[in-house]
Amino acid sequence: MASSVASSAKFVLALIVAACAIFGVGRAIGNSYAFFLGYVVVQYIVLGTAWNILGGYTGYVNFGVTAFFAIGAYSTVALYKLIPAMPLPFMIVIGGAFAALVGLGTGYLTLRLRGVFFSIATLALAVVVQTLITNWDFVGGARGAYVLRPKLAPLMGGEYVQYLFVLMLGLCVIVLATARAIERSSLGYGFAAIRDDEAAAEAAGVPTLKLKLIATTLSGGFMGMAGAPLPYYVTYLDPTSGFNLNYAVNAIAMPLIGGTSSWVGPVLGAVLVGGLQEVLRVTISSAANVLVAGVLMVVFVIAAPRGIVGLFEGKRK
Amino acid sequence: MDASYDLLLNAILSGLLLGGFYAAVSIGVAISFGMLDIVNIAHPAFILLGSYAAFIGNTYFGLDPILAAVIALPFFYALGMAVYQVYYVAFERRDERSLSSAPRNDQSLRGLSFFFGLLFITEVGLVMIFGVDYRLVQASYIGEKYSLGPIQLPYRLLVPFIVSMVTVVGLQLFLSKTFVGRAIQAVAQDQLALRLMAANPVRIKRIAFGLSIATAALGGAILIIIQSVEPSVGREYIGRVFAICVLGGLGSFSGMVIAAMTLGVVETLTSTLFGPSWAPAVSFGVLLITLAVRPSGILGR
């Protein structure tokens, strides 16, 4: 136990060092485009890892990524209208808490049944949350809402997008550390038992419902946190862009492409697919960049079911 | 007071007609999800392909949208068989090979992701070809109304209703009267027994999935008669279609029709009383309540 704590501590330290290095390189480049691009990739690492905590570890597919993501984003819009001076980190925590609650509620109602019903419910959840937001005038309704992005970053100076990037990096460290800690704890073994044979796990005394609810809550909460800074990033948020299906497809495609069995997969997937998308967006068209994640996802689930990580690990199973 | 009664009566009637249309959209999922246990969440995307097929036939060749859909039927059937073949090779055969009898959660995860990917690719493909403009079809009966006293039934809803009911009854007869039809009903329950009857379960499932996608051609054609269509419209139907299938009890056509009409009426009443922007939320509410209270559906076994 003590060694696992020490290993986790080392891991977190390594992540922080890596995050600082990445930010240092960004500062050295000093180009705001680098930060805008970096933000998107890191955001997808967070989203993909959050999705993977439920999808990859327990095998329950959440298609309602946009619902959780947008709950985070719109809670920031609402807080911005209520208390404009609130620091963004608080908004992130609150947005995450709302999304976690929704995850818990949806899970509680549907997770007693076969996994597909949960998946279908989450698909429908995305539509219903969008309907609610579209009808909620306080956060802009169908017209959308503007959020003023401050010119300068608080505390550290430089452009505000650098601050957003640092926050997202910090979130990324937390999410990756959590995901790795889960993998190495009894929680992770419980999740894996659910994934491999839920009936047998239940029979062996694994509290499956409780574990599934923990996974949906964590996963939903992190997705909400990933969405919370979005209004400051885009400065104008309307339901069509906040609930864009791209977020869901990317969040699902990236872990599946990278590999769902460990925290490395979503990171690999997000960096590769996110980078490729940016290249395509610049060189070909924005439609092509949207398509690539979907096509890659289908190719990988058919041809390489264990993702890139699986390709390197060889045929262990 | 009379006026509001008329309003209510008309809302309920058009809700029933709308429900009839929902039945045509859901019947493909009733086959694939209810009978074959294939969770084809991409079905609404195939419906939209049907809409665009009808749009092409109508706009460029001057065909009636329903006639265009009938012409498209064999192509959709073939498309469905092809999709099933890929699904079978990539997922079901792999499942058969593994030693454990229960399907692993991560296998269903990949199957679901496969269809989710198809849904997304189809939607983006349609955006790239047709753009995000709303598309319409022309037909003599669109815009006309059948009036009977205070009741007004637009043909725009009546024609789809009739097409839908003919489809449902036709498929029900096919499934209960023919050998292949009965084999389709049996395939999810006992593959071994089916083999003993000299029917190849994979072939039966391929036919059934082909049929399920073929219904999407008709469903799509009547969708574009009812409303103008753009590529992301399909997403609204995911919740509806699955809410209807779950509420109806998986695999039961009569339950599905009742569920579709119930949802149609509840949605129409919701739009009439609270405004149309709230209607998409209804299906989710219905789905959640069904899953939480009675997951076997209203006519479930």
Tokens of B33: 């999800």
Residue contact A249–B235, C-beta within 8 A: no
Domain locations along chain B: 2-293
Tell me: the pLDDT tens digits for B116-146? 899 989 988 898 888 888 888 888 777 777 7
Report the alpha-carbon distance of residue A269 to residue A290 in Å, rounded.
Answer: 15
Does A245 sit within 8 Å of B109, measured CB to CB? no
Residues of B whose CB is below 8 A from A249: 116-117, 120
Q: DSSP secondary-structure letter at A86?
A: -
Domain boundaries, chain A: 2-243
B109–A61: do the CB atoms touch at under 8 Å? Answer: yes
Helical segments of A59-185, H only: 65-82, 88-110, 115-134, 160-183
CA distance B25 to B28: 7
* Candidate from B105, B239, B291 with C-beta closest to A198: B105
Task: Determine, for residues A124 and B243 on separate chains, whether the beta-carbon distance falls below 8 Å.
Answer: yes
Determine the residue of chain A that is closest to B126 in CA distance: A287
How many Å apart are CA A130 and CA A136, to the nearest integer? 10
CA-based nearest distance A136→chain B, Å: 11
CA dist B268 and B22 (Å) reads 12
A135 touches chain B (CB under 8 A): yes
Position B169 scores a pLDDT of 93
Asked if B86 and A116 come within 8 Å (Cβ–Cβ), the reply is no
Find the angle CA(A229)-CA(A231)-CA(A232) to the nearest 5 degrees.
Answer: 70
Burial (0-12, 13-18, 19+ Cβ within 10 Å), B275: exposed
Residue numbers in A near B98 (CB within 8 A):
none
- Calculate how close chain B gets to A294, using CA atoms only, in Å: 5
Cβ of residue A17 closer than 8 Å to a chain B Cβ: no
Q: What is the pLDDT along chain A (317 residues), one digit of tens a residue?
A: 456 778 888 888 888 888 888 888 887 787 778 888 888 999 999 999 999 999 889 888 888 899 999 999 999 999 998 888 888 889 999 999 999 999 999 888 888 777 788 888 888 888 888 888 888 888 888 888 888 888 777 777 778 888 888 899 999 999 999 999 999 899 999 998 988 888 888 888 889 889 999 999 999 999 999 999 999 998 898 888 888 888 888 999 999 999 888 889 999 999 999 888 888 888 877 777 778 888 998 998 888 888 888 888 765 54
Task: Note every long-range contact of A110-114, with CB atoms under 8 Å and residues 24 or more positions apart, other chains counting.
Answer: A110/B288, A110/B291, A110/B292, A111/A60, A111/A209, A111/A212, A111/A213, A111/A216, A112/A209, A113/B291, A113/B295
Of the candidate CATH numbers 1.10.10, 2.60.40, 1.10.3470, 1.10.20, the domain formed by B2-293 belongs to 1.10.3470
Residue of B110, B280, B291 lying closest to A121 (CB–CB): B291
Cβ within 8 Å, pair A110-B288:
yes
What does the block give as tokens for A138? 């306080």
| ipTM of predicted complex | 0.84
Interior/surface letters A83-110, b for 16+ CB within 10 angstroms, e for the rest: eeeeebeebbebbbbbbbebbbbbbebb
Three-state secondary-structure class, residue A152: strand
Which parts of chain B have pLDDT scores under 50? 1, 99-102
DSSP per position, chain B = -HHHHHHHHHHHHHHHHHHHHHHHHHHHHIIIIIIT----TTHHHHHHHHHHHHHHHHHHH---HHHHHHHHHHHHHHHHHHHHHHHIIIIIHHHHHSS-SSPPHHHHHHHHHHHHHHHHHHHHHHHHHH-SS-B----TTTT-EEEETTEEEEHHHHHHHHHHHHHHHHHHHHHHHSHHHHHHHHHTT-HHHHHHTT--HHHHHHHHHHHHHHHHHHHHHHHHHHS-B-TTHHHHHHHHHHHHHHHH-TT-HHHHHHHHHHHHHHHHHHHHHH-GGGHHHHHHHHHHHHHHH-TT-TT--
Q: How far is the alpha carbon of A196 from chain B, nearest alpha carbon, in Å?
A: 5
Residue to mutate among A120, A206, A291, with most B CBs inside 10 A, is A120
A286-303 vs B105-130: helix crossing angle, rounded to 10: 150
pLDDT of residue B283: 80
Q: What pLDDT, on a 0 to 100 scale, did the predictor assign at position B99?
A: 47
A134 interfaces chain B, CB cutoff of 8 Å: yes
Greatest Cα pair distance in chain B = 67
Q: Which amino acid is at A18?
A: A
Residues of A in contact with B102 (CB under 8 A): 197-200
Spell out the residues 6+ positions from residue B153 whose beta carbon is closer than 8 angstroms to its own: B13, B14, B17, B145, B146, B147
